Structure 1
Amino acid sequence: MDERRWGLFEAGSAPREPRLRIDPAWSSARLSRAIIRSSWAWVFPGALLLVVFNIATMLLPVVIGQFVDTVITPAAAGAGFGSIRSALAGWLAALVGLYVVINLGYRFGGRLGWFGVQRAQFELSQSVLGRILDERGTAGAARAPGGLLSLATADVHRACLVLYVTVYPPGEIVGLMVAAGILFWVHPALGIGVVIALPLVLLLMHLVARPLRRRSGAEQAGLADAASAAADLVAGYRVIRGLHAQHSAADRYRSVSRGALRATLSARAAQAGFDGVSTATAHVFAAVVVLAAAVPAFTGQITPGQLVTVAGVAVTWIGPLDSLVGTLGSFWAVSQASASRVLDLVALPPHPAASGTAVPADTGERALVFEQLDLEDGVVLNAVVLAGGFVVLDLPQSAQAALADLLTLKAMPSAGRIEHFDRAVHEHRSALLRERVLVSPRTPGILSGTVLDNVRATGVTTTPVDTARTALGVAGMGAAELPDGYETVVGDGGRELSGGQRQRIALARAVAADPEVLVLVEPTTAVDAVTEQHIATGLRQHRAGRTTLVLTASAAFHAVADPVAVIHEETRVDV
């Protein structure tokens, strides 16, 4: 697709100039205005078509009334077909024409408006996802994946519903103005009365919508918390079941879910009350107008057809009147609550540990330096890992996790310093550092697809097949132990594999990535001693000339490693 035509029929894969740019300092209302401006090319023609639709809808009772006065009434009085033939044909043609305009205006006006919502939702979601996936992370407490998912989907969608306030209300307002004009044409007193009473009715319905505005924010926050808890519960179910903590986890989710339910019921009660009052008000207003028109009809001041017109207009404007207040009240309230949540996320500063801008040095003798590094639990690490070395550190599990977080820029040292080629790691640009220093986590992550697909998924470009097969060999993963060899489909999470197989696939992926510095955290806890020895030897040979740091107590790795620091009860480790 020619990207110069991006946005004509669909969003391009890589738009050059996004129409929606977000400033985290904006208010919710300003973000809503920016969303409207970004989709104006679609919203404006859609709104115009809906204006035409509403005008045609209001004119329909006029045509029916004229049909009654010029065709039905004369025919009932005994007029011949010849005298009413032209009026019959003319008003029937007008009816058909109006129905065609009504159908096309609503269909294509609504379609253009919906397309604008989709376009704005696409661009806003890209901004939100860009912040979520930012290499620098976010400051403050870690956010649960379920909550982030809710923000990137439900809240983005609701924030873009503000476009409906732009697409539909103009046509509804014009339709009500046309209705007032028609009533003034029928009888000036009716038109003047409607002009005076209509703003009062709108104000009343606006006041009724205020509880909904207050409660919509609490509802969405509660739903996000419930979605977050559910996603995390499902993701960690295997661990929870292994710990026999199903009941505790279920109780936690039940508590969060009930809180969300209470907020939702509160918002729905406000919505129901608002709908009931607004609909009843609109119907009562229409009935009052019809009764007011009956008085001049009985005295002969207006014709039967004009009475039919008044009744038709009164019934017809119930929809625009109810929708107008409902759109401005409900959609605006919901969109503002979600826009506020989106802006709160986008405004989060990057994590201090990942805010560096320096470019890592290309060469140096000391790949990693740990200087008086406090790893909690009384462990202080002093070590130098030379470039090209194969070093093993025996650390407590808590210290392993702390060191992994520091090397992946998820945390700042509470005391001490970590250097990569004589510069503190948090001073480096995070994306460049992660390209050079790869930390393979203790818990293996297995993706859906085949074994070979998992090993080849090492970055933007996939690793060659031969490289992946070699890495699997280094990790002690033979094709013969799998039903379909390396083409075996493992499924999301690798639930069909054993723990040792999952661990070795993750190790093979890290080996295939071939980083300058590879850090492995307990890579062989789920394999037997013979396989572990094979892996340790093969990894040492394969990584010759590249820096490798293994955090493990495994004797097999200690046997092939460079100088090792072993911790028993010491509080300080020196290498």
Structure 2
Amino acid sequence: MKNPDTQRPRPGAAILRTALRRNVGAMAAGTVLMGLYQAAETAFPIALGLIVEHTMRDRGLGSLGVSIGALAVIITTVSLSWRFGMRVLQKANTTEAHRWRVRVAACGLQPVARDVDLKSGEILTIATEDADQTADIIEVVPLLISSLVAVVVAAVALSLADLRLGLLVIAGTVAILSVLAVMSRRIGASTQEQQARVARAGAKVADLIIGLRPLHGFGGNHAAFGSYREVSTDAKRQAITVARVNGAYAGTALALNAVLAAAVSLTAGWLAFEGRITVGELVMAVGLAQFIMEPLKLFSEMPKYVMIARASAERMALVLGAPPVATPGTERPGPGGALEVEDVRHGTLQGVTFTVAAGEFVAIASYQPRAAADLASVLAVNAAPGTYGGAVRIGGREIGDLSVEAVREHLLVNPYDGEVFAGTLRTNIDPSGSGRSVEAAVEASLLTDVVALHRQGLDHPVRDRGANLSGGQRQRLSLARALAADSEMLVLHDPTTAVDAVTEQLIARNVAKLRRGRTTLVITSSPALLDAADRVLVLDGGVVTAEDTHRNLLADDAAYCRAVAR
């Protein structure tokens, strides 16, 4: 037998406990109000029975007025308790869902990636649908308790009329819940699988949107759409399975509740026929048999929602509980330090070593695009320090020993496919709104023609992913953003591949001028940028094979001349 102290705690259950613990106050208030609502609803048929019983003995006008007043109090209690009870619970539910959405999003946006086998589209689904369904537990528990209150009140009232009626309600409720508890387990497993497949379909959509332009370019869009169709069909099949299970559950719950109500009504009728209960008690029993259907239905549905909340919490735990790929250090580099790459082996890199001194402008001409991408990935810390050989140092300190904030503050790597976001030109260049060199960055990247073209200037709207900009404009916008950051060390990866040769020449001069005195590394095959650099490193076969100025290499190295001459 396993020791419970040594068993691993279920992370999904821990998330649910946290949600419940944080909302104890709201849940207590909601439970009281919803319990009052259910008790008042159940009291309605009881009051009718008592009114009938009393009226048959005393037919006076005063008793009629008291009866009407009692019913008005019950109806008012039902209305107000439901209104304020659901308001309290739904506010707590919405707030808790927001908290989990923020936490999941924060994990997905952390600079240090987490070791989780999920795509960004899947994390998006978890941060929205699963967060909402997990927070539903806050409403489930009070509604479960309030439904139990209604069943207990009905059972006690019927027991006072005849003990057999009360026992019938209790036994029937236990039997119904036992049957539905077994069915709810399958709902939880099926729902968890459906959520996983829907998330995979969402991730596939995100990938398609990102790659739509190149897919159209080489005619691969039909194959990509076919791939998405397969994933979506898979999710559809699972959704149908879940719908069938939910339908079977709901149908079984409704049938069992109806059988219990019918059993209570028939038993009460038989007891009245035998003279063991009065006419007023018969009215109360038949009324309760009808009214108890709603709390029983609600009570029987709660196990299903508990299983759905648990399944969603388990999926959130995949993100929240995943360890970081790397644990960043706490140190900071010294100011004005060099960028050192020593014997780095990663992907196609076979032992790259070079140093960019403080304030130097160095270009790397990579003969293989894959090697350029691998080097940019290492410098951007997309590849964690422990996943590659060798070392990268900033100001004499290895990247792995530095805090994430220190790396981002001293070293900025601008990828060749920098994202463009919905907003304006200004918010894309200076997202924080605190940049002081926006105008200089716009001029250096030659984005001035785009700004001058529109009446709003830098406030010209930009659509999602820069859909209303050309490829060259998007690339210059990304370059302007990198230059506006004015980081101590800047790495640019192919910043001018989408612009013409004249524009490229001007940008190269502007970048060299703007970055004078700041450490700059450009990974490129552009002759203009190579010529603007203080020196050029040749990266071939995963190692640095040559080093000189661009013009000397053109004169002395035939392979270099063939690779970069246009």
Normalised TM-score (structure 1): 0.89
Match of 2:23 in 1: 39
User: Over aligned residues, Cα RMSD in angstroms?
Assistant: 2.0
CA distance in 2, matches of 1:393, 1:501: 24
Partner letter of residue 253 of structure 1?
Y
Q: Which of 344, 369, 376 is the aligned partner of 1:404? A: 376
Q: Which of 496, 520, 533 is the aligned partner of 2:492? A: 520
Match of 2:332 in 1: 359
CA distance in 2, matches of 1:498, 1:481: 15
Partner letter of residue 337 of structure 1?
A
**Identity between Structure 1 and Structure 2 (%):** 30
Could you tell me whether the CA contact under 8 Å between 1:408 and 1:434 is conserved in 2? no
CA displacement 1:500-535 (0-9 Å, x = unmatched): 111111111111110000110111111121211111
The alpha-carbon distance between structure 1 residues 508 and 195, as it changes in their structure 2 partners (threshold 3 A), is: closer
Q: SS in structure 2 opposite 1:419?
A: strand
| 1:241 maps onto 2:212 in alignment | no
Q: Which of 135, 148, 152 is the aligned partner of 1:160? A: 135
CA displacement 1:265-303 (0-9 Å, x = unmatched): 111111100100111000011101110111121133322
CA displacement 1:389-418 (0-9 Å, x = unmatched): 000100121112111111111114633322
Q: Which moved more, 1:368-377 or 1:214-223?
A: 368-377
Q: Which moved more, 1:332-341 or 1:395-404?
A: 395-404
Q: Which of 189, 192, 197 is the aligned partner of 2:164? A: 189
CA distance in 1, matches of 2:511, 2:139: 60
1:196-215 to 2 correspondences below 5 Å:
196-215=171-190
Q: Which of 392, 410, 414 is the aligned partner of 2:363? A: 392
Q: Which of 324, 332, 335 is the aligned partner of 1:350? A: 324
Match of 2:352 in 1: 381
CA distance in 2, matches of 1:375, 1:218: 36
Q: Which of 36, 46, 61 is the aligned partner of 1:85? A: 61
Could you tell me whether the CA contact under 8 Å between 1:379 and 1:572 is conserved in 2? no
Per-residue deviation at 1:571? 5.0
Q: SS in structure 2 opposite 1:238?
A: helix
CA distance in 1, matches of 2:349, 2:154: 80
Match of 1:323 in 2: 298
Per-residue deviation at 1:153? 0.9
CA distance in 2, matches of 1:144, 1:193: 53
Could you tell me whether the CA contact under 8 Å between 2:345 and 2:352 is conserved in 1? yes
Per-residue deviation at 1:355? 2.4
Per-residue deviation at 1:344? 1.7
Match of 2:285 in 1: 310
Per-residue deviation at 1:570? 8.2
Could you tell me whether the CA contact under 8 Å between 1:125 and 1:156 is conserved in 2? yes
Could you tell me whether the CA contact under 8 Å between 2:26 and 2:89 is conserved in 1? yes
Per-residue deviation at 1:100? 0.2
1:106-505 to 2 correspondences below 5 Å:
106-139=82-115, 141=117, 143-327=118-302, 329-352=303-326, 355-364=328-337, 367-377=338-348, 380-395=351-366, 396-411=368-383, 412=385, 414-457=388-431, 460-464=432-436, 467-479=437-449, 482-484=453-455, 485-505=457-477
Per-residue deviation at 1:114? 1.0
Q: SS in structure 2 opposite 1:383?
A: strand
| 1:535 maps onto 2:507 in alignment | yes
Q: Which moved more, 1:25-34 or 1:106-115?
A: 25-34
1:53-72 to 2 correspondences below 5 Å:
53-71=37-55
CA distance in 1, matches of 2:520, 2:329: 24
Structure 2 segments unaligned to the other structure (5+ residues)? 1-7, 548-566
CA distance in 1, matches of 2:362, 2:479: 17
Q: SS in structure 1 opposite 2:60?
A: helix
Q: SS in structure 1 opposite 2:268?
A: helix
Could you tell me whether the CA contact under 8 Å between 1:49 and 1:108 is conserved in 2? yes
Could you tell me whether the CA contact under 8 Å between 2:353 and 2:543 is conserved in 1? no
CA displacement 1:151-193 (0-9 Å, x = unmatched): 1111111111111232111111111111011111222222233
Q: SS in structure 1 opposite 2:113?
A: coil
Could you tell me whether the CA contact under 8 Å between 2:512 and 2:532 is conserved in 1? yes
Per-residue deviation at 1:216? 1.7
The alpha-carbon distance between structure 1 residues 570 and 297, as it changes in their structure 2 partners (threshold 3 A), is: closer
CA distance in 2, matches of 1:454, 1:200: 62
CA distance in 1, matches of 2:502, 2:9: 59
CA distance in 2, matches of 1:537, 1:501: 18
Per-residue deviation at 1:461? 4.5
Could you tell me whether the CA contact under 8 Å between 1:26 and 1:343 is conserved in 2? no
Q: Which moved more, 1:249-258 or 1:269-278?
A: 249-258
Per-residue deviation at 1:379? 5.2
CA displacement 1:438-493 (0-9 Å, x = unmatched): 01110132222332332222xx44314xx211111111222475232433322222
Q: Which of 44, 49, 52 is the aligned partner of 2:36? A: 52
State the aligned residue count. Answer: 535
Partner letter of residue 35 of structure 1?
A
Q: SS in structure 2 opposite 1:519?
A: strand
Partner letter of residue 374 of structure 1?
R
Could you tell me whether the CA contact under 8 Å between 1:533 and 1:556 is conserved in 2? yes
CA distance in 1, matches of 2:426, 2:291: 64
The alpha-carbon distance between structure 1 residues 225 and 240, as it changes in their structure 2 partners (threshold 3 A), is: same
Per-residue deviation at 1:360? 1.9
Could you tell me whether the CA contact under 8 Å between 1:66 and 1:305 is conserved in 2? yes
Partner letter of residue 249 of structure 2?
F
CA distance in 2, matches of 1:449, 1:219: 34
CA distance in 2, matches of 1:173, 1:487: 59
CA distance in 2, matches of 1:155, 1:123: 12
Per-residue deviation at 1:140? 5.2
Structure 1 segments unaligned to the other structure (5+ residues)? 1-23
Match of 1:17 in 2: none
Could you tell me whether the CA contact under 8 Å between 2:333 and 2:396 is conserved in 1? no
CA distance in 1, matches of 2:267, 2:407: 78
Could you tell me whether the CA contact under 8 Å between 1:351 and 1:410 is conserved in 2? no
CA displacement 1:56-95 (0-9 Å, x = unmatched): 1111001112232333x57xxxx8xxx4211110111111
Per-residue deviation at 1:574? 5.0
Q: SS in structure 1 opposite 2:434?
A: coil
Per-residue deviation at 1:253? 1.0
Q: SS in structure 2 opposite 1:418?
A: strand
Per-residue deviation at 1:220? 1.3
Q: SS in structure 2 opposite 1:416?
A: strand
The alpha-carbon distance between structure 1 residues 551 and 212, as it changes in their structure 2 partners (threshold 3 A), is: same
CA distance in 2, matches of 1:108, 1:271: 30
| 1:507 maps onto 2:491 in alignment | no
